[in-house]
Amino acid sequence: MQPMGLGSMDAGSMDAGSMDAGATDAGAAGAPLVLASGSQWRRGLLDAAGIPAEALAPDVDEDAIQHADPVELARLRAAAKAESVAALRPGCWVVGADQVVHLDGVARGKPRDADDWRRGLASLRGRVHQLSTAVTLIGPDGGAEHFVEHSEVRFRSDLSDADLEAYIALGEAKGCAGGYMVEGRGAWLVESVDGDWTNVVGLPIFALIGRLRARGWRLGAGGRAAAGGLGG
């Protein structure tokens, strides 16, 4: 699982400089897409959907970006990531994403240490928590769109302390929000997921494809997507 003065935005809304829906950006046909992330999982989701992308880790201090509202926090961080990479890759499509796990209105960050990890997982046991992924899509002309997808995850109620200790010992989710990876061994902690599975993994691919399609992207005969329907 994964600082700018943006105001609160409804899911799917666009800012004043956004791209016009239904129109391909000027010069966008054939422009490459850059994923503002070092996540192999997000890159894998794009690859599986036939969206060729360069992955470039953004130079962003996520800890320096804070907000009391978990969803707004994810929005701010996703935008910062996308803008950081867009500055290095002008004329490209850029996708930035940030995921937050939250329960009772409080964001659950990455575990600080083993004790924090243990407490965090134990507090999720038998409960439903929310997982929100904010995405910023920047077009070749610099216009940006921001949207958020939400899923609900229910942890198993029969998890013992030994189950949690065994999972923590694996170390696979040390750097993950909430301290677990549902796409890995963390599946043993989860009873059910309500919502888009790709959102839980880290990038809501169905919502992203919908926005790319609105801007002229199409899947080509060769199974590769591109703006202007030029996928080969």
Q: Catalytic residue numbers?
A: 98
* Spatial distance between the Cα atoms of 227 and 31, rounded to a whole number of angstroms: 7
| β-pair partners for 226 | 218
CB 35, CB 55: distance < 8 Å: yes
CB 86, CB 94: distance < 8 Å: yes
Q: 19-56 as b/e, with b when 16 or more CB fall inside 10 Å?
A: beeeebbeebeebebbbbbebebbbebbeebebebeeb
Q: Which helix (H) or strand (E) holds 121?
A: helix 114-124
* Spatial distance between the Cα atoms of 226 and 232, rounded to a whole number of angstroms: 8
